[in-house]
Amino acid sequence: MRVGIGFDVHALMPGRKLILGGVEIPSELGLLGHSDADVLVHAVMDALLGAAGLGDIGQHFPDTDESYKGISSMVLLEQVTSLLERAGYYVHNLDCVIIAEMPKINPYREKMRDNLARQLGIAIERVNIKATTTEGLGFTGLKEGIAAQAVCTIMKKQ
């Protein structure tokens, strides 16, 4: 068994879609980034890559590469899943936390879990998503951005 941790942050701004866990959430503010800026999926990808010793998302999907401009992070997660499979690993479980003052995550949590579970090829019971605020403190508290953390375990295929 191997363990990985991922962390990501994106700034909030008007004129962008807000996508978390592959779910488009109605909002006047969206996340700024080269791709769709899905901060949750980015944290998940870094956790998975780290657990397998395969670097990070910046190495695999650099923001200097125009082919990734506006791309769905779920497409990138599919590529990360393929990298894991080629390295002989499968995902055992995933635990995530979204750090944001807005939006409320609960109405979208199950769809996010389902999206991640389907993409990773694991049962939804092996994917957990939590959300918290920073009680008005820091950049997330000021609604300037959203952060996410993910911890995963992966297993070597027998």
Instruction: Please give the backbone phi and psi of residue 77, each rounded to the nearest 5 degrees, phi first.
Output: -65, -35
**Which domains, ranges and CATH numbers included, belong to the chain?**
2-156 (3.30.1330.50)
pLDDT tens track for 75-98: 999 999 999 999 999 999 999 999
Instruction: Give 8-30 pLDDT, tens digit per residue.
Output: 999 999 999 999 999 999 999 99
Q: What is the pTM of this model?
A: 0.96
> Which one, of 74, 79, 131, 58, lies nearest residue 100 by Cα?
131
d(CA 94, CA 135): 25
How is residue 73 written in tokens? 């992070």
